[in-house]
């Protein structure tokens, strides 16, 4: 089923992503669900990477993607905005959290998450509950799960 989704103020942010296929899949998810994507550089790949291009296809609408040259520039711009960090170290489930339509939901690097200094900057740290024998979900799956729930809560889907 397709519909015209109004672009919300909701944003997904990726901290120094390092797997091109995951970033491309997240771009597609954000495009399909009407969320803006913010990418904090440096990335661990080039946007010209053929693995990236193969997955992103024609979903690379640069109007809905904002790049930050560093985490410092990202946090500088977000000074008075709520940032929600998704982390396996979180104590609160994303389903028990009340998302706002102008939240920025930050996901860490696939290989290392976010550094401790970033954890300290963010009050709201959430997790996706999962089997305790598993280490983590794929970041593209995690983004889709959390984005769908946040959009459901703010009644955009």
Which structural domains are found in the chain, ordered by start?
A: 11-153 (3.40.1280.10)
Q: What pLDDT, on the 0 to 100 scale, is given for residue 128?
A: 96
d(CA 59, CA 48) in angstroms, rounded, equals: 14
**What's the chain's average pLDDT?**
88
Contacts of 134 (CB under 8 A, 6+ apart): none
Decide: 143 and 49 in contact? Cβ < 8 Å.
no
Nearest CA to 105 out of 11, 9, 15, 16 is that of 11
DSSP 3-state assignment of 123? Answer: coil
Contacts of 79 (CB under 8 A, 6+ apart): none
What is this structure's pTM?
A: 0.89
Sheet holding 83-86: strands in order across? 65-68, 36-40, 11-15, 104-107, 83-86, 124-127, 92-93
pLDDT digits (tens, 9 = 90+) for 10-43: 999 999 999 988 998 999 899 888 899 999 999 8
pLDDT digits (tens, 9 = 90+) for 34-79: 899 999 999 887 777 777 777 666 666 656 889 999 999 999 999 9
């Amino acid at each position: 089923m397709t519909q015209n989704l109004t672009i919300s103020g909701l944003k997904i942010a990726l901290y120094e992503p390092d797997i091109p296929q995951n970033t491309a899949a997240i771009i597609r998810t954000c495009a399909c669900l009407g969320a803006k994507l913010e990418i904090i550089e440096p990335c661990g790949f080039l946007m010209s990477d053929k693995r990236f291009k193969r997955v992103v296809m024609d979903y690379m609408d640069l109007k809905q993607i904002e790049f930050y040259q560093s985490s410092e520039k990202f946090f500088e711009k977000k000074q008075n905005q709520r940032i929600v960090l998704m982390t396996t170290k979180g104590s609160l489930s994303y389903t028990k959290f009340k998302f706002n339509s102008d939240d920025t939901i930050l996901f860490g690097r696939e290989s290392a998450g976010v550094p401790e200094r970033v954890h300290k900057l963010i009050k709201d740290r959430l997790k996706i509950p999962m089997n305790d024998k598993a280490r983590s979900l794929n970041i593209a799956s995690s983004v889709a799960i959390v984005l769908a729930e946040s959009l459901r809560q703010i009644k955009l889907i």
